[in-house]
Structure 1
Amino acid sequence: MENERRLRLSINKAKISVDLNRRLGVISPNLYGCTWDWRDSVRGDSVHGGMWVGDDDTIPHIDGFHPGVIAALKELSLPVIQFFPQSPFYNWEDGVGPREKRPRLLLPWGRVRGHEPVEISNDVGTDEFIRFCRLLGAEPLLDTNENDPLGSKNWVEYCNYDGGTKYARLRAEHGHPEPYKVKYWHVYAWGDMEPDAHARDFRKFAAAARLIDPSIEMIGSAVGGSKWVKAFFETLDRAFTPVMGGISLVDHMAYMHYFGVLMKDVDFTDDDYYRLLRNTEGLDDRLREYDATLRFYSQGRQPWAHNWLQEPYSKQAPQASEMKIVISEWAVNWASRICTMRDAIAAAGILDTYHRWADRIHMALSYNLTGGQALVQTHADKVWVTPTYHLFNMYKPHRNNEAVEIEMECESIEVGQEEGNSDFFGSLSVARDQPLSCLTSSASVNAAGSEVILSVTNRHLTDEIEAQIALEGANKPVSGTLTLLAAKEIRDYNDGENPDRVRPQTEDFEPQDCRFSLNFPPHSITVIRLNI
């Protein structure tokens, strides 16, 4: 049997020790959020099109959305979805009201890469996006225009205010009399924006938005690294009324991680693959830097407007605490149109790292739903899910569990680093000639202490890794399952003609003790669930 083949007695290449007594923090479901990009609005009749089909009666739809996409994404129970409408160019008022009257939006970024600017539709605006989130049971997160604090304030009024003002009435006229109560608001900043200018605009918007709805959580941008963030915070604290307009306005700070920018989707070399994995190795160092900065500026932080708001509003406002990390965008390559097994392998290591930082990372949003780190893709009436989708589904049992410490010894892959880490936005350098670990892993235990989840990814392209696994502080397993996601080739992907080329396989798994052995195939992801 397959189970017997995996259980081995001789151990040579790796050791994994899972210590249930060393807890790292609760893994928030918000680590499995995603981003809606304008490309997700592309009609599904184009090659690798998006999820929006509009009012076309020739294609089945649910409120304009592809029903196959809705069904697939419901399975993932996505907790939060970010609306990313290219903030510096976006006017939210262009995306509400009758769709036939909405103007098109011009995105000029194509000229940077030698292409023509792109015109995009405003068919999916505020009301459609929030409806999409409600269909999936996800919390919406809105990215505001950092250049227009007044317009962004009006957006909060449109979404969250229950009254007779212009924008509250406008929402009602569009068929939504009850406030949406959008919880998360991100004030986006592009990398070339000056931190002091961003801080002033952030303060104008955030102070007014909080007075409209004290319960919202405000996310600032940290696009320029630690020096940029320092200047941003110090400008905020120079406010005339610090309690109303200082650091207390910020609940979380957002960072972005891309690890293989403009790397080829399928025609990449083996060296490209290992270079990409090396880029992800800088993540722990960068998170330590984020953590130190946010902890420092959280010292002495007071509850927002705690002396200003009257009951019951003061209790609605978020209470003072350490600011936490939000990963507002992460992907192997934001421009990808085909998502291969390579992308899932890299993503597994990234999520394993986020698990280890569970006590400090509040939210992580992959980019995006149908491109980049895609979860689903469409063509006409066909819908298929990607290897990354399967990874998200396999990792679902980690949510709300407490991450636990892992000690691992394994062989390494010797890879050159001539090109360094230039593809990783804002990453710290990785020392040249440092070996790349064959395995990456994370583990968690549920609140009752009755189930352990262990995830192990073998990143080696050709070698099977044999590992001895020890569960420290655990009772003897009584039952379990093992789910394996593997592919014949690292470049394999799913499409409309072969939607199940890459798919997971699950089998019963019942080790006889807290110490057992497993073989992990090349370029594979394994999730073990054990009842103890």
Structure 2
Amino acid sequence: MGESGQGITRRAGLQGSVAAGLAAALPFRASAAASGVTAEIDVAKTGEPISPFLYGAFSEHIQGFIYSALWAEVLSDRKFYYAVDNQDPSTRKWRPLAQPETVTMETAAPYVGEHSPQVALSPWEQRGIGQGGLALAAKDHVGRIVVAGDPGAHVTVTLSWGSGQSQRVVVPVRRQWTTVPLRFTCRAATTDGRLEISATGTGSLKIGAVSLMAADNVHGFRKDTIALFRALDSGMWRFPGGNFTSGHDWKDAVGDPDRRPPKWDHVWNYPQSNDIGTDEFLTLCRLIQVEPYLCVNSGFGSAREAAELVEYVNGDAGTAMGRVRADHGHPEPYKVKYWNIGNEMFGFWQLGYMTPSQYVVKHTLFANAMRKADPSITLVAVGASPASLTIHSEPFYIDPDTRKIVHPSPVIVEYGSAVDWNHRLMKDAWGTFDMISEHTYGDPHRYDLTTGQRVEVTESVLDSVRRGANYIHAIREDWELYKKDFPLERDGVKMALDEWAYFVGGMRGVLAVSLMLHEMFRNTDFIVMGAYTTGMSWLSYNATDSIYSEQGLLFMLYRKHFGTIPIEISGNSPQPAPKWPAGGDQPSVTSGSPTYPLDMSAALSADRKTLTIAVINATADVQSADISLAGFAPRSRGRLWRLTGPNLDSSNHVGQPPQVTLTEEEFATGQSQWSVQPYSVELRAYSR
């Protein structure tokens, strides 16, 4: 049976010992059973510190997602990926002002991309192009236009924000391409503003690029959303993907933004303006004070291109690519430490996906080239445990004996088999990575091992929202198997959970995500990085305004008020045994603290003067718990934060009163009996 058969035998031999010993072997496990929930927090029983990177964000160019949340650009298709005509309005945002034939797309010498609009002028008629449906705030706006044309053309750019309310800027024109600044004072907010570029004269007018932003933008980013993200203090951001990375050429997104070609993104089927590239992302990280984590293209990209990106980012100005960076206005190296070699290369949905045996070759080529460019960087390899591979449903491999493609269905990936991506990576590429990534998406539907499909089940809210945390625990069980065969602890190899989320929003999603956070806190001995999918969902926003979503409030709650040194929780109410067989996202031991039906996590502050205890109640009833502290004598009054909403569907939307609220109050620390509100997340802080 080759490697696959050996893996099945090995799995059978190891799984039993792991399942039996996991509660004792892993941090923060306790076992007991009695009626009435009691919990003891002994501050002498500490775990590895919680990295600020666990609160990180995953940011990907999924169509215009990043641009709408972060970028201050008002205009769509500002570099004319699409032709200017009267065709499909869902893509053609620019329209001719006069007859359609007055605007053609010039391809012989476009300013950028494949073509530029060219307007045939008339001395008797205003001709040009316009874009409507603009969302404008009542504030100053700035921008620029790149034009070329025949002398004598009279060109104006007009911004309108209401009936009879507009402002014009006269634009001088030369035969060569010229960039002309624009400035307008919009005196009323609107969602139906309009920008028109019009001209009279003889000959033609060519338009290369146009930009319009609120004048209070911060290096091109939205002032409002940047302030909200900075306040979250989210530790680390991953960029530019995600699946997007595997088809992205980073060189298309550096240098003069107006000269960066707009290109079709074959991953998300959307035109990519390339306005937010490497330099802009690193500027963003500086603005919101987070560590950058860059992902290179190991799909359609090459090791040489990845090494050149490392040199562009970290090389001094004397290197070839460092000199290019300096020419782009950034003379000093960025000194980015964390680098991800590709994204989900095991998946059939990934551009350039491959088998485990092929990936280890490509990964090694990338690692060697990137470390040659900068030996100090920390490399994160694409990882996938049997738990993840089973859920993804489509792994395949080449049988080493028959040399035929094996594609089992339904898929149940066994530890050590030829399909076990992480095992092959550790066996054949050890020493070429510092961390291994894992992507964990919780889902309210159960993964059925017999059919290989997600299925609906009738279960409690608690069981449903726990599925993401169970998935993380299943990954933990796989990690324990890897520790038996590979020197993970000796060499300090850790895991980056650099994509994770739960596929439901509202208060239900808040409960699920908080449970996943708790499971990560219980496993800080090996999970040292997390990137929530996506950081943009921490906000609810429109084109001009933004607030924190319910997810954003959750991350703010934990990041600002939860401690950094995790503490073991002992309790008398262990989590129930699993209802379903182990495999995929179902571990052999249910995740959670021994305080069922509540889930608790505790941590000390770095100075050990404050103890915080977080408790999640994912039931419809008030739950009681008796809490005792060991080794910690608090002051008489503490602080209590509670995150909750009227129902499981409660959520926060910009322009509407928030449904999910975060409140703060005092509590008496001498009262050991807690009453935890239904469908809520509570944090209590004790200080000494």
Q: What TM-score, normalized by structure 1, do the two folds share?
A: 0.79
Task: From 230, 236, 242, give the equivalent of 2:423.
Answer: 230
Contact kept, 8 Å, 1:492 with 1:501, in 2: the verdict is yes
Contact kept, 8 Å, 2:63 with 2:271, in 1: the verdict is no
* Pairing of 1:86-485 with structure 2 (within 5 A): 86-109=244-267, 117-147=269-299, 148-188=302-342, 189-192=344-347, 193-223=354-384, 225=386, 227-236=420-429, 247-260=430-443, 271=459, 273=461, 274-293=463-482, 296-298=485-487, 321-333=491-503, 339-370=505-536, 374-397=537-560, 401-410=564-573, 426-428=584-586, 437-460=596-619, 462-485=620-643
Matched position secondary structure for 2:255: coil
Matched position secondary structure for 1:490: coil
* CA distance in 1 between partners of 2:238 and 2:384 (Å): 17
1:342 CA drift (Å)? 1.4
**Change over 3 Å in CA distance of 1:40–1:138 after alignment to 2:** farther
Q: Which residue of 2 aligns with 1:84?
A: 240
Q: Which residue of 2 aligns with 1:22?
A: 45
* CA distance in 1 between partners of 2:609 and 2:327 (Å): 51
Q: Which stretch shifts more, 193-202 or 341-350?
A: 193-202
* CA distance in 2 between partners of 1:72 and 1:300 (Å): 38
1:63 CA drift (Å)? 1.2
Q: Which stretch shifts more, 25-34 or 198-207?
A: 198-207
Q: State yes or no: 1:488 paired with 2:646.
A: yes
Question: Residue type of the partner of 2:470?
Answer: E
Q: Which stretch shifts more, 25-34 or 397-406?
A: 397-406
Q: State yes or no: 1:52 paired with 2:71.
A: yes
**Change over 3 Å in CA distance of 1:300–1:323 after alignment to 2:** closer
**Change over 3 Å in CA distance of 1:401–1:496 after alignment to 2:** closer
**Change over 3 Å in CA distance of 1:272–1:172 after alignment to 2:** farther
**Change over 3 Å in CA distance of 1:138–1:530 after alignment to 2:** same
Q: Which residue of 2 aligns with 1:501?
A: 659
**Change over 3 Å in CA distance of 1:397–1:404 after alignment to 2:** farther
Same amino acid, percent of matched pairs: 25
**Change over 3 Å in CA distance of 1:477–1:381 after alignment to 2:** same
Structure with larger Rg:
2
Matched position secondary structure for 2:317: coil
**Change over 3 Å in CA distance of 1:382–1:262 after alignment to 2:** farther
Contact kept, 8 Å, 1:397 with 1:453, in 2: the verdict is no
Matched position secondary structure for 2:212: coil
* CA distance in 2 between partners of 1:455 and 1:400 (Å): 10
Contact kept, 8 Å, 1:37 with 1:369, in 2: the verdict is no
Matched position secondary structure for 1:162: coil
* CA distance in 2 between partners of 1:121 and 1:496 (Å): 26
**Change over 3 Å in CA distance of 1:526–1:282 after alignment to 2:** same
Q: Which residue of 2 aligns with 1:317?
A: none
Matched position secondary structure for 2:48: strand
Matched position secondary structure for 2:686: strand
* CA distance in 1 between partners of 2:458 and 2:677 (Å): 17
Q: Where in structure 1 are there 5+ consecutive unaligned residues?
A: 1-10, 111-116, 237-246, 302-320
**Change over 3 Å in CA distance of 1:131–1:379 after alignment to 2:** same
Aligned residues: 463
Matched position secondary structure for 2:439: strand
1:381 CA drift (Å)? 1.1
1:500 CA drift (Å)? 2.6
Contact kept, 8 Å, 1:455 with 1:525, in 2: the verdict is yes
**Change over 3 Å in CA distance of 1:357–1:154 after alignment to 2:** same
Q: Which residue of 1 aligns with 2:412?
A: none
Q: Which residue of 2 aligns with 1:4?
A: none
* CA distance in 2 between partners of 1:431 and 1:406 (Å): 17
1:410 CA drift (Å)? 4.8
Question: Residue type of the partner of 1:401?
Answer: T
1:163 CA drift (Å)? 3.4
Structure number with greater CO (CA < 8 Å, separation at least 6) is 1
**Change over 3 Å in CA distance of 1:415–1:152 after alignment to 2:** closer
* CA distance in 1 between partners of 2:645 and 2:381 (Å): 40
1:42 CA drift (Å)? 3.7
1:150 CA drift (Å)? 1.1
Contact kept, 8 Å, 1:146 with 1:187, in 2: the verdict is yes
Q: Where in structure 2 are there 5+ consecutive unaligned residues?
A: 1-33, 74-210, 348-353, 387-414, 447-455
Question: Residue type of the partner of 1:286?
Answer: I
1:298 CA drift (Å)? 2.6
1:412 CA drift (Å)? 7.6
Question: Residue type of the partner of 2:497?
Answer: I
1:390 CA drift (Å)? 1.2
* CA distance in 2 between partners of 1:506 and 1:75 (Å): 18
RMSD between aligned residues: 3.1
Q: Which residue of 1 aligns with 2:149?
A: none
* CA distance in 1 between partners of 2:629 and 2:561 (Å): 17
* CA distance in 1 between partners of 2:355 and 2:331 (Å): 39
1:104 CA drift (Å)? 3.4
Q: What TM-score, normalized by structure 2, do the two folds share?
A: 0.62
* CA distance in 2 between partners of 1:90 and 1:261 (Å): 32
1:292 CA drift (Å)? 4.0
Question: Residue type of the partner of 2:521?
Answer: H
Matched position secondary structure for 2:648: coil
* CA distance in 2 between partners of 1:471 and 1:33 (Å): 31
Question: Residue type of the partner of 2:479?
Answer: Y
Deviations 1:65-105 (A, max 9, x none): 11111111111112110003312111111111222332334
* CA distance in 2 between partners of 1:37 and 1:523 (Å): 31
Question: Residue type of the partner of 2:550?
Answer: P
